[in-house]
Amino acid sequence: MKNRAPALLAGLALAPATLDAQPRPARPDVPGLYAIANARVVTVSGDTLENGTVVMEEGLITAVGAGVDVPAGARVIDGTGRTVYPGLIDALTTLGHGQEPEPGAAAPGGGGGDGGRPHAWGPEDRPGTTTWLTAADDLDAGDERFARWREAGFTSVVSTRHEGLAPGQAAVLNLGSFERPRELVVAGPVAMRVNLQDRSRTYSGFPGSAMGVFAYLKQLYYDAAHHGDVWADYEEAPRGRRRPEWDGALEPIRRQLDEGWPVLFPASSRSDVVRALATTAEMGVRPVVYGAHGAWEAADLLAAGGAPVLVSLDWPAPPRDRDPDEVPALAELRRYDRAPTTPAALAAAGVPFAFYAGGLDDPSEALPAVRRAVAQGLSADDAVRALTLSAAEIFGVDDRLGSIETGKIANLIVTGGDLLDEGAAVETVFVDGERFETAGAPDASAEEDGDGGEGGSEPRHRTGPAGDPAAPPVPLAADRGPYRDDPVTFIAGATLLTASRGTIENGDVLVRDGRIAAVGTGLEPPPGATVVDAAGQYVTPGIIDAHSHLAALSINEGSVNVSSMVTIEDVIRPEDVGMYRALAGGVTTINVLHGSANPVGGGNAVLKLRWGADAGGLLLGAHPGIKFARGENTTRDRNPDRYPGSRMGVQDVIRQAFLDAGAYLAEWDAYRAGDGLRPAPRRDLKLERLGEVLRGERWVHAHSYRGDEILQLLRLAEEFGFTIRTLQHVLEGYKVADEIAAHGAGASTFSDWWAYKVEAFDAIPHNAALMTERGVLVSINSDSGEEIRHLNQEAAKTMKWGGLDEEAALRLVTLNPAMQLGIDDRVGSLDEGKDADLTIWEGHPLSMFGKPVQTYVDGKLYFDVELDRGRQAAIEAEKQAHLAKLGLRPKAEEDR
């Protein structure tokens, strides 16, 4: 990035005019001179003083110590029997900005087709983005939460607006009296918040999926960096040059990038954390993860990624009004049980973290929630630190807040006992040296009659913790990962259906270090090998599904007709038990594709079913691909109207997209060939991926049904000089089989689905066989979490409908899809040197009676029909233990 003119920086920092318009009020009085003497002082940053004194003057801490002199004129508070802490910090709130927009409220510049909301046609429309808003401005004077939070012991909060995808900048506020709103601001922008879900949705259209959100955030940050570059370049020599376009949404991000403030990024589960770290790395910003109820299983990643964490104190619990017979899913039960262990896990891993009240309506529930974390192993010191100094450190304000040190802001609380003791009351709160008595003060409590103060919370919709909060968490059943990982496995005496060179009767397979080391007859097991007696059984290569939608958070970004900016890789969902179920059907590799809502979809992800691995560990490393689509799914009515509405338009959209991509490549080529004095062109994720297609670096997998639309796509690809890698579904492929073969596209089809759409009415179960006969490389895919579990049967149907032989049929779900995905050097047949991805079957796999008994990926045993029972029992036992602990009705014995 180039240097910018300083003058420009100054101007930009003020960009959107949101300064208070009110005249500065007269300051009523100077905060008093206070001394709290003879108290226990928990400084947090240093030693705890058992009998110390804290002196405050002009809103600052001026002295702390055991033998400190109390200055003359100070109001002295006798702290005998009291403890003084730094004021608590709620590390993420919306205080001062609680008003959510009306759902669907029209934003200026509207005119889309969806109820008057403006329609976002892509990242350039900056959907849900108000990065220029800072929580330091426009504080809502009517927000009654300031007083309630203060009452609960919070003297500072980090506040943000929260509507939208990039709602704005976080600021640190002190919760003093509100006559002087501007003086509440302790620090201006300290972070930029992003959300992955936009609950307000004041616009329609893009992004319409989780994938779209990730793509958007990346593009937004690329654009911000680029915006800074082009303006700096322009400012250097504006004369005679066309000025760049101004974008007020980007300047605050550019400033963030320059100044290095972090981004607040939501993440709960381990896979959320993986996505947060990967995405923020691409955005070029430091992440601060918030939410984090599942971070107990991601502490290692957070430590390695150097990401601090804001833990929500709104611990999950079963809803009060719940179906008494319904047993929550294990993942849900684990969340209830484990979320409060997150702080201890983070502390153990050395991850900096702070607390925030999260969805708690009543801030007085925050300390009990912290106590629950302490009961689950968090040390008292770490708990207090997380409520004070850690929060200040994470937001870079530990030079003024978070501990009791001379020179810091006089934010203190005085409690009747240890803060973490049950029933400990916050009696007095000092904010900026200003004293506030609370309902917990000895004098006040008598009057309040234990009512809990104003704004009492609604009855909670969730149950509280049941039983002993210190009870250890329920031990985790081993529900993921391989059953065995033997260095050497010897499968003996099976019928081997190799998929590459016929059937080997009474054959053996030697697996070593994850690869197939030998295939043949009469082999001897090496010493130490795990021997699997497979006599009477069958071995095939692991099944490969060339078209799956498993293991993804979202499938379609259908809001726009070209969504090549998105990719499945951004939203891999390793928790999807569908992968294990596919393993139980003998499947070892899947091609996870974007859906078919639009002519140009998003990137794909070829995964090996290493059940239990993180997203990165699932990726096979295949050649990148992208989904295209033709036909009814792309043209049917949508709201608002989205071009195209006909097959003519589909062709046009794809052609125009490639013309744009070609121009984009040319722009970059010219830049690279140039003198480097001009800024680089804008990086455009959408065109970048299409450019990769033009350069053969990314393969097209094209959803298509009708023969004519298949032909049109082949011709269009030829026009742009590339080859369609696979036609997906291609139900009328048999009508244009010669043309497909001549083009060189593969075809991946269904076995026998038909008649669900007009374009599926000429689908015939002979399609795969007929195309094979005509020289097309054919596979059979599932496109379904159910069908994937018996692709072997679907392949066998081609023997009945079209007369393929066994080997040709088996290849449809093994070697052929491997070739289509360009991974046949790794998988797809029982050949030496290939990855040991294989399935052992009881009963012939090309029949209705073949049942997978073992499935290996990389030589590791990921499915075993016997061991599965033990795993299933362990899962059930863990669920019952959770139910007992929660005091929920265990499932009646008679039900089983």
Partner 1 sequence: MKRNAHVRGTGAALPLVAGTLRTARTFGVRRAAGARGAPVTVAAAVALGAAVVLGAASPAAAQTYAIRGGTVHTLAGEPFVGTVVIRDGRIAAAGPDMEAPAGAEVVDAAGRHVYPGLFDAVSRLGLTEIGAVGVTNDAREQGGFNPHLQAATAIHPASELIPVARANGIAATLSAPQGGAVAGQASLVGLDGWTVEEMLIDPGAAMVVNYPSLAGGFRDRREWSERRERYDEAVARLDEWLDAARDYQRAVEAGAAARRDLKLEAAAQILDGGMPVLLAANGDRDIRNAVEWARGRGLDFAVAGGRGAWKIADWLAERDVPVILGPTQSMPTGPDESYAEAYANPGRLHAAGVRIAFATFTAADSRTLPYEAAQAVPYGLPRGAALAAITKNAAEMLGFDDRLGTLQEGRIANVIVTDGDPLAIRTRVTELFILGRRVSTDNRHRSLYERYRARPGRRVPR
Query: 665: which 2 tokens?
Result: 């490549």
Binding to partner 1 by CB under 8 A, coded x per residue (else -) over 617-646, reads ---------------x--------------
CB of 664 to partner 1, least distance (A): 34
Which residue from 443, 468, 866, 894 is in contact with partner 1, where contact means CB under 8 A? 894
Dist. CA 267–CA 279, nearest whole Å:
12
Q: Which stretch binds partner 1 (CB under 8 A): 10-18, 440-448, 545-553, 774-782?
A: 774-782
Residue 772 Cα to chain centre, angstroms: 41
Does residue 581 interact with partner 1 by CB under 8 A?
Answer: yes
Q: Are 549 and 594 in contact (CB under 8 A)?
A: no
In the numeric block, the tokens 């390793």 are attached to 574
Q: Which stretch binds partner 1 (CB under 8 A): 99-107, 146-154, 490-498, 730-738?
A: 730-738
Pick between residue 59 and residue 585 the one whose CB is nearest to partner 1: 585
Does residue 785 interact with partner 1 by CB under 8 A?
Answer: yes
Dist. CA 699–CA 676, nearest whole Å:
31
Q: Which residues are CB-contacts of 291 (< 8 A; sequence separation ≥ 6)?
A: 266, 267, 268, 272, 310, 312, 358
Query: 509: which 2 tokens?
Result: 């397979």
Does residue 773 interact with partner 1 by CB under 8 A?
Answer: yes
* Bridge pairing between strands 851-857 and 838-842: antiparallel
Does residue 197 interact with partner 1 by CB under 8 A?
Answer: no
- The alpha-carbon radius of gyration of the chain (Å, integer) is 32
Query: 668: which 2 tokens?
Result: 């970059």
Q: Are 882 and 336 in contact (CB under 8 A)?
A: yes
The 3-state DSSP class for residue 577 equals coil
Does residue 777 interact with partner 1 by CB under 8 A?
Answer: yes
Q: Which stretch binds partner 1 (CB under 8 A): 113-121, 446-454, 517-525, 573-581?
A: 573-581
Does residue 875 interact with partner 1 by CB under 8 A?
Answer: yes
Dist. CA 445–CA 442, nearest whole Å:
6
Binding to partner 1 by CB under 8 A, coded x per residue (else -) over 793-812, reads x--xx-xxxx----------
Q: Which of residues 827-856 bind partner 1 (CB under 8 A)?
A: 842-843, 846-851
Give, rounded to a whole angstrom, the gap between the first and last alpha carbons of the chain: 65
Supply the DSSP symbol for 665.
Answer: H
Which residue from 102, 245, 321, 675 is in contact with partner 1, where contact means CB under 8 A? 321
Does residue 757 interact with partner 1 by CB under 8 A?
Answer: yes
Does residue 610 interact with partner 1 by CB under 8 A?
Answer: no
Q: Which stretch binds partner 1 (CB under 8 A): 135-143, 269-277, 496-504, 870-878?
A: 870-878
Pick between residue 638 and residue 800 the one whose CB is nearest to partner 1: 800
Query: How many binding residues for partner 1 (CB under 8 A)?
Result: 69
Give the sign of the dihedral formed by CA 787, CA 791, CA 794, CA 798: positive
Q: Which stretch binds partner 1 (CB under 8 A): 107-115, 136-144, 668-676, 733-741?
A: 733-741
Give the sign of the dihedral formed by CA 174, CA 176, CA 182, CA 183: negative
Which residue from 12, 405, 876, 881 is in contact with partner 1, where contact means CB under 8 A? 876
Does residue 752 interact with partner 1 by CB under 8 A?
Answer: yes
Does residue 478 interact with partner 1 by CB under 8 A?
Answer: no
Pick between residue 178 and residue 753 the one whose CB is nearest to partner 1: 753
Which residue from 70, 76, 665, 741 is in contact with partner 1, where contact means CB under 8 A? 741
Single out the residue of 790, 599, 551, 857 nearest to residue 780, CA to CA.
790
Dist. CA 266–CA 107, nearest whole Å:
25
Does residue 764 interact with partner 1 by CB under 8 A?
Answer: yes
Binding to partner 1 by CB under 8 A, coded x per residue (else -) over 277-316, reads ----------------------------------------
Q: Are 270 and 307 in contact (CB under 8 A)?
A: no
What share of residues in the chain are helix, strand, coil (percent, to 5)?
Answer: 30, 25, 45
Q: Are 607 and 551 in contact (CB under 8 A)?
A: yes
CB atoms closer than 10 angstroms to residue 612: 17
Q: Are 679 and 229 in contact (CB under 8 A)?
A: yes
E strand or H helix that includes residue 17: none
Does residue 789 interact with partner 1 by CB under 8 A?
Answer: yes
Pick between residue 30 and residue 873 the one whose CB is nearest to partner 1: 873
Which residue from 372, 879, 882, 885 is in contact with partner 1, where contact means CB under 8 A? 879
Kindly list the residues in this chain that would bind partner 1 in the complex (CB under 8 A).
319, 321-326, 329-331, 577, 580-581, 584-585, 632, 734-735, 737-738, 741-742, 752-758, 760-762, 764-766, 770, 773-777, 785-787, 789-790, 793, 796-797, 799-802, 842-843, 846-851, 868, 872, 875-876, 879, 894-896
